[in-house]
Every structure is written in C-alpha cells, then in structure tokens.
Structure 1
Amino acid sequence: MQTVLFVLLGLVGLGIVVTIHELGHFLAARALGVEVEAFAVGWGPAFYRWKPKKTEYRLCWLPLGGYCKMKGENYLKQALLNPETQPQPEPGSFFAASPWRRIVISLAGPIFNLLMAAVVLTALALTGVPQNSPSSRIILASQYEHTTYPADQAGLKSGDIITAINGQPVQNFRDLQTQIGACAGKPLSVEVNRNGQPLTLTVIPRWNPASSSYLVGVYPWIDPIVASVQRDSPAQIAGIRPGDRVISFNGYPTPNTRAIVPLLSDRVPSYTLQLERHGKQIDTTIIPDIVNGQPHLGIEYKIPHYPAVPQPWNVAVSQGISQTQVFLGQMLDGLGQLVTGNVDPAKSLSGPLLIAYYVGDVASQGFMSGWGDGVGAVANFLAFISLALFLMNLLPLPALDGGNIVLELVELFRRKPLKPMTLIRFQQVGSVIILALIIFTTYNNVIFLMQPK
C-alpha cells in the first residue's frame, strides 16, 4: 500500500514537470503563429473545457502531465491514407511553419524544463532549506570493508571533519555527497579539521559501477545517541529510551553507529548493550526481531538538524545556476558511462513508474522531518527530474524533440520540405524505440517495486 501511495504522489509531481515542458511548446507555437488546437493539463477525459478563441483548454482526470495539440495532424493522416499524393500542410499548422520556427518550438519544451530547474533551485537558495543530515565528520569505509579507497590513498582518517571541498564550504554530510557527485572524477582539494589542526588533502574519486556514481570511501560519523524508539519494538522491551547513548555492543566499544553494523550481522539470539543515561551506565539485553532476514532493534539514532539559511538575491541566483550545472554534469557523466558500457542499463534506466515512486518516497521522508524539509526535498528532486527531461528530449532520437530538430535542420539545409511519408516513417521508428524503452524500464521497475522495502 505504501508503494502505491508513493507512486500516486510521484505521478502528480512528474505531471507538473511534464506540464511545464508542454507549456514551453504551447507558448512558442502561439508566439510564432502556429495554431494550437488544445492545451491540456492531465490526460484522459476532460472534466473542464474552455475555448475562448481557437485554443481549447482542458483539465483532465489523470494528473499525469499534459499535452499541446498543434494544428497539422491531418497533413500526416492524408499522406498515410494516400501515399502516392503530395498533400499540402494547412495554413497555420506546425508543418506549414518555416524550419527555423519549428526548431524554436521543438526547443521550447526542453528549455522550459531547464528554466524550471534553475528557478526552483534559485528559489530554494533564496528561502533556504532546512536539512536533517549527519555532520561532515567521516569514517573510513576501509575500516570495515578491508579495501583501499581514494580516501585512504589521500591520507584521510576516521574522525576527520571535512570543512570545504574545492574552496566550497561543507556544512554536513549531504553537502559532502553533493560535492563528490559533481566532481566527474576530477581531483578534489579537501580541507580537513583533524583534532583542531587544519589540513588540505587531494582526493581523486573513483567510479563505482555498482552504485553508478563516484565515491571516495567514507561513511558519516553518527554518534550512537538514541533519538526515538519504535513502539513495541525489541528496544522498547529492553528499556532503551530516547537520549540514551550506546557505549558498547556485545562488549565492543561503539564510538559511532557504523561500529554497530557488523555486530548486528553476527545473527546471535540476543545482544548485550551498555548505555549511558544521565551520566550513569546501564546494562541491558535486547532480543532482536528478524525483518527481511535482518536483525531489527527498533532504534532511530539522532541526526543533526540544520536550519534554513536564506541567501541574498545575487548569491541565490549564483547558487541556483551552479546547482543546475552540477546536476547537468552528473547526468551527462552518467549518460557517458551508460554509452561506454560502464553501467548496467537494467539498473541505471528508470521509467515513469520508478521515477514517480522516488518522488513519492522523497516527499514522504522529507515531510516526516517537517514541512520545510519536505517542500525542499520534493522541489529539489523535481528540479533534478526537470533537467533529466531537458536532456532526454534533446537526444536525436525519432519521436523526441531532438529527433524533430534533426529533421528540421535537414530540411533547413536542403531548402525544401521532406516528404510526409519520410516524417511518418521517422516517427514510427521512434515510437518503436520509445515503446521498447518503456517496456524495458517498466519491467525492471515493477521487479524493483515488488521487492521488500
């Protein structure tokens, strides 16, 4: 039921991004003299229609985006019904417009997605977004995985506090992840506070095919202080309370929560915990539940809260543009990894179903922390999706805006229109490609969504 709710919430968010895309086509078409027969928000049967002039505006029942129906469909229909004839496009239709006008109209949709992302990210910087995130204090992954990572090679140590990367301040672990994700594998100048002493180290992130991202090999340092205890959970039965600090777990010291993870995998029937409560030490025994094959205690640990920090206009605009560039860089790098075969398409390509799930999941997790966190998380993710739509639609594939632009450029240089049947065959090939991608991604997404969460 939770998965279904996430998907439904996400479809609404995805619909907003698609509607903005179609709005770009609509406004460009109107400005360049192409008649728009219908502009709809949503899909399916319309529950409200309004036609003040030539364009009918529709509100439809299914909030799954929208569409912009331009005059000109009859042109292709006539060619399909009578392949031997050479029908003429109707005045005011899309195909009657000059190639450069059609290029502008085709570009307008993706450009509106680009602008939406930049505006949203600027607005987030302007208002500030509260965050719940671990601090920028780190733990070396090699300490638990017995593998050498870029962090080890650079000389980082567990307990180091990252203060800046490439001159950009790092406030928390989320900032750290963002900076690493945006590096595209380039060396990072990392400023560190080690026991009060400032250091500057150079870290070269490594591509990780399993996660389709760059990594340096660090975990967040989270103090093992209990934030909440689930009702009727093993932790509540054992008498653990919010505010308790876990000092040791089965006799092993626990300076941070990561130290507990390998101890949980021992699959023993019970664990002995030593707690610190109001300056006193308390011993207790906890018998875990097994959930999806893993021990479950019912403890949530305290994560620092960082309040919103509004930025002035000039700084907000600069940050919005910078974050847009970061997202685009990550996407282009991921696309390059996909083309070169460094990532598995089955794990890297997400269809509308999984994207909708992620939007809903982000919304749910964010709003659990507060309205500010929820709005910020959803807006940030929708900006990311909007940029993905921008890039995807510019790919030179039939049936996408990029494919249409290729045809229009060919026509522009030939200085004569392409035959209608050429356009039809091109769109048919594109439709087959898009349908195959939809089937491929939907199948993989359904498999993912059916797995235990």
Structure 2
Amino acid sequence: MEGLIMTAQLLLGLSILVGVHEFGHLIAAKAFGMRVEKYSIGFPPKIWGFQYGETEYSFGAIPLGGFVKISGMIDESLDTESMSAEPEEWEFRAKPAWQRLIVMMGGIIVNVITGIIIFVFLVYSNGNSFVPKEELNKHGIVAYELGQEIGLQSGDVILKVNGKDYDRFSDLRSMDVLFADQPTYKVQRGDSVFDLAFPEGFLNKLTDKKYKDRFIAPRFPYEVGQVIAGTAAADGGLKAKDKILTINNEPALYFDQLKEILTSNADSNVVATVKRADNTTETLTFKVSSEGTIGFQPRPLINYQHDEYTFGEAIPIGTTQAFNVVWANIKGLGKIFSGDVAVSKSLSGPIRIAQMFGGTWDWNKFWNMTGLLSMVLAFMNFLPIPALDGGHVVFLTYEIVSGQKPSDKFLENAQKVGMVILLSLMVFAFFNDIVQTIF
C-alpha cells in the first residue's frame, strides 16, 4: 500500500508540474501567434485526448514528462520534414528571435512562479515551527554516527557556525554550512570551548542514504505520554506523566539516553527508577522487546517556537525559500564537479523521488515536495543542454547577439546529441535508484 501511495503522489506531482511547464510554452507561443499542434502531459502512446481549435490536448501513457509541439520548431519529435519549405507566418521559425526566446523560457518561468506560489501558501497556512538556539542550547545536541565522526558528543552545545551566530537548529544543517569550503562548529563541552572542522569528504557521506538522519538532532528531556496497552510498559506499571530517571542505574533523563540503553538491553529485563507526577519515586521492572522498546509514546519536554505570518509577510519568506532550492542545486552541482559529492549520491530518479514523498498521504508534505520539484525542474531545464529549454536559450541568445541564426541542420544534430545525453542520464538515474535502494 505504501508503494502505491508513493507512486500516486509522484505521478500527481509530476503531472501538475509538467502540465504547468508545458502550459508556459503553449501560452507564450499562442500569445505571439504561433500555431501549437499538440499539448501532452506524458509521452506517447496517447491514452486520451481531445481537439480544441488548432491544438490537440492529450495524456500519454508514459507519465514521466510531456511536450508541446509548435509548428516550425525542431524539438524532441525531430519532425524536420516541413522545415525545407518556406516558413509560414504562424511558425516558430518565422518569428523574431526575442519572441522565440520568451517561448522557450515560458516553461521555466511558469515553474518558478508555481514553486513560489506553493511555498508562499505553505508559509502562510502553516507558519514556521522550529527549535530556537536558546532552547537547543539548554540541553545541547544528540550526536549520531556522522556527528561523532567529526568529533561531536551528545550534550555538546554549538555556539557558532562557520564563525557566525545562528538562530535555530535547522541553521546547523543549512546549505551555507554544508556547502562551505571548510565548515566549522564552535563547540562548548563542559568548561571547554573549541572549533570542530568537518573532515574532507564528509558531505559525500552526509548525502548517503544509509546515514539519513544520523548526523545531529536536538537533545530533549521527556516524560511518558501514552502508555500502550498490553506492552511491557503497561504491564510494569508505567503511567502517563511519569519521568524515567535511570535504567539499570544508568541515567535516562534524555530520550537518546533511554533509546541507547533499551537498544543495548533488547530481549532483557531492566530495572527503572521512575518519578511519578506527584514527585514520588518508584522502581519498576520491564521486559525490553527485541526492537529495543517497552511500549510508550514519549512527550518531548522542549519548547518549539512557532511563528505565524500574514499573507504579505509570507510572500518574501516563501519566495526566499523557493530560490534557496535553486541556490542549493547550483552549489550542489558545483560540489559534484569538484568531486566533493559523488553523482550516484546526489542524482535521484523516479524511485528515490517517490520515496521522498513518503508512504502516507500528507498534503503539506506533498505540496512541499511539489514546490521543491517545481524549482528543481526550472533549474534543470535551464541547463545549457541541447533538447532542454536551456539549450534552445543558448542558441537563441547567440542569434540575438551575433545576428546569425544557426542552421536547421545544426539544430537538428544538436537536438539528437541532447536527447542522447538526457536518455543516458535517465537510464543512469533509474538504475542508480535501484542500486541505492537495494544497497
């Protein structure tokens, strides 16, 4: 069932984004009097469609893309048969270069607008919840495997990032930190204050799926929330609002301490010292499951800050968030070319994108992922690769600057080369997804 939900969210998100992208080309072409022969969400074979005016609108059976066919344009269809005749006034090739440039930019522009709108409405409707620095540093951080690798320990207090102050926990993993040439944390441990530098190649590990969520997290004390009936916690007498002080005489005041102790005592009996809601103390015995649990939901005792925004306030914040996605992709691409990040770790195909949507239907997460993908799609389409919009933009910019139009034969061959590059990337991404998912 989870697989079906992942697939459904991926297909719906891509259909929306491809639809608005191709609509951007279509509306720009029609605005300049060009004839649009076809508009398709998905690639052939066609499964449904209708004719409206001069344009056939359809859905294709292969849902990982779409296209518009504009008369007189050499595109992915490679339909060059009519290009030998004199251009008609309603053809793409008959229009001035600046108009053709706007048509090719139309899809990118609409994807950017779509991404901004989605992020603005998410900010407006949800606000923003976060752990502020002051709250985080009451208890410090939890250092998982990757955090320990750079020298962090659970309970460390991070004072500065790259020599600068910060506002919230998410700043510790922001792109300014991860993509810096030499990221550093200023750390307080007890009475000592020192700098920790990220080792070379660390970013490559951080993008590895097996280390997902294994870097750092806010450390928090907790109390018992819901006790699940029929579990060791219920049978052992644990109650809501209890606070577990120790297990087998080891401190368990923080949830990470509790998890570590329970995991190391899986399938064993443990003795816990518990402080009740009335401040009395009791000793309870529990049988830990093979998964390292006893059967209760923790209630974190940490104060999140929540900010609400008016629609006017949400516009610049949402716009900034949208363009941060593009900036992160630019920096990430630079890290790939510099060798700091492996292509196999950073390039995601349909399988891993579906996994990012998740196996439960959450509209907030769906729209957040769709907004992110809209900005990524705009960025990827702007890359100067023939067969992408960015390739057409390069050739049209050359024509505007030089006054000379590349020959139709050159454009046809460039389109073929671009399609080979894109198909190779798609095949690589698909099989890389399989390898990364299995291993």
Bin of the TM-score, shorter chain as denominator length: 0.7 to 0.9
Give the unaligned 5+ runs of structure 2.
none
User: Are residue 141 (structure 1) and residue 143 (structure 2) matched?
Assistant: yes
User: Cα distance 1:277–1:381, how it changes in 2: closer, same or farther (>3 A)?
Assistant: farther
After superposition, the C-alpha distances for 1:344-370 in whole angstroms (9 at most, x for unaligned) are 211210013321331244x64xx4xxx
For residues 21-65 of structure 1, give each alpha carbon's deviation from its aligned partner in whole angstroms, at most 9, with x where no partner exists. Answer: 2222122112222221233445553545251x2233346677656
Q: Secondary structure at the match of 1:281?
A: strand
Match of 2:414 among 401, 426, 432: 426
Note the C-alpha offset of 1:402.
0.9
Query: Contact 1:50–1:57 at 8 Å: present in 2 too?
Result: yes
Matched residues in 2 for 1:443 and 1:78: separation? 27
Hey, what's the Cα distance between the residues in 1 that align with 2:101 and 2:421? 22
Q: CA deviation at 1:450?
A: 4.8
**TM-score scaled by length of structure 1:** 0.76
- Distance in 2 between the 1:140 and 1:287 partners? 23
Give 1:194 deviation, angstroms: 12
Aligned to 2:398: 410
> Residues 41-440 of structure 1 correspond to what in structure 2 (within 5 A)?
41=41, 45-47=46-48, 49-51=50-52, 53-58=53-58, 66-72=66-72, 86-129=84-127, 131=129, 136-137=136-137, 138-139=140-141, 141=143, 147-149=149-151, 158=156, 169-170=167-168, 173=169, 175-176=170-171, 180-183=174-177, 184-185=179-180, 208-212=203-207, 218-228=216-226, 240=238, 242-264=240-262, 266=264, 268-274=266-272, 275-278=274-277, 279=279, 280-290=281-291, 295=292, 299-303=296-300, 309-361=307-359, 364=361, 367=362, 374-375=363-364, 377-440=365-428
Kept after mapping to 1: 8 A contact 2:130/2:306: no
Equivalents in 1 of 2:310, 2:34: separation in Å? 40
Q: Flag the 1:136–1:404 CA change in 2: closer, same or farther, 3 A.
A: same
**Cα distance in 1 for residues equivalent to 2:423 and 2:431:** 12
Task: Find the aligned partners of 2:315 and 2:77 in 1 and give their Cα distance.
Answer: 47
Does the Cα contact within 8 Å between 2:223 and 2:243 map onto a contact in 1?
Answer: yes
In 1, are the aligned partners of 2:269 and 2:286 still within 8 Å (CA)? Answer: yes
- Answer yes or no: is the 8 Å Cα contact 2:147–2:214 preserved in 1: no
The structural deviation recorded for 1:314 is 3.7
SS class of match (2:270): strand
Distance 1:88 1:75 in 2: 18
Distance 1:446 1:324, change over 3 A: same
**CA–CA separation in structure 1 for the residues paired with 2:255 and 2:249:** 15
Distance across 1 between alignment mates of 2:110 and 2:354: 20
**C-alpha distance in structure 2 between counterparts of 1:90 and 1:277, whole Å:** 85
Q: Find the counterpart in structure 2 of residue 371 from structure 1.
A: none
1:31 to 1:167, Cα distance in 2 relative to 1, 3 A: farther
Match of 1:12 in 2: 12
**2:424 alignment partner, SS class:** helix
Does the 8 A contact of 2:144 with 2:214 survive in 1?
A: no
CA drift at 1:97: 2.4
Q: Distance in 2 between matches of 1:386 and 1:79?
A: 29
Corresponding residue of 2:35 = 35
Aligned-partner Cα distance in 2 for 1:30–1:261: 61
CA distance in 2, matches of 1:255, 1:440: 47
Partner amino acid, structure 2, of 1:286: K
Q: Identify the range of structure 1 (435-444 vs 136-145) with the bigger mean alpha-carbon deviation.
A: 136-145
CA RMSD of the aligned region, Å? 4.3
TM-score of the two chains, using structure 2 as the length reference: 0.78
| In 1: Cα distance, 2:66 partner to 2:218 partner | 42
Q: Which shows bigger deviation, 34-43 or 93-102?
A: 34-43
Question: Is 2:433 aligned against 1:445?
Answer: yes
Q: Take 1:117 and 1:76, find their aligned partners in 2: how far apart are those partners?
A: 25
- The CA distance in 1 between the partners of 2:167 and 2:233, in whole Å, is 38
Q: What amino acid sits opposite 2:71 in the alignment? A: K
CA displacement 1:172-191 (0-9 Å, x = unmatched): x4x4456x334442899999
SS of the aligned residue for 2:383 comes to: coil
Pairwise CA distance, 1:309: 3.9
Quick one: distance in 2 between partners of 1:106 and 1:201?
Answer: 52
The secondary structure found in structure 1 opposite 2:68 is: strand
Q: Whole-Å Cα distance in 1 between the matches of residues 165 and 254 of structure 2? A: 28
Query: Relative to structure 1, is the Cα distance of residues 119 and 422 closer, same or farther in structure 2, using a 3 angstrom cutoff?
Result: same
Which amino acid letter does the alignment assign opposite residue 411 of structure 2? L
Q: Could you say if the C-alpha distance between residues 439 and 318 of structure 1 is closer, same or farther in structure 2, counting changes exceeding 3 Å?
A: same
| 8 A Cα contact 1:76 1:420, kept in partner | no
1:124–1:144 CA distance, 2 compared to 1 (3 A): closer
Check 1:25–1:74 CA distance in 2 against 1; reply closer, same or farther (3 A cut): closer
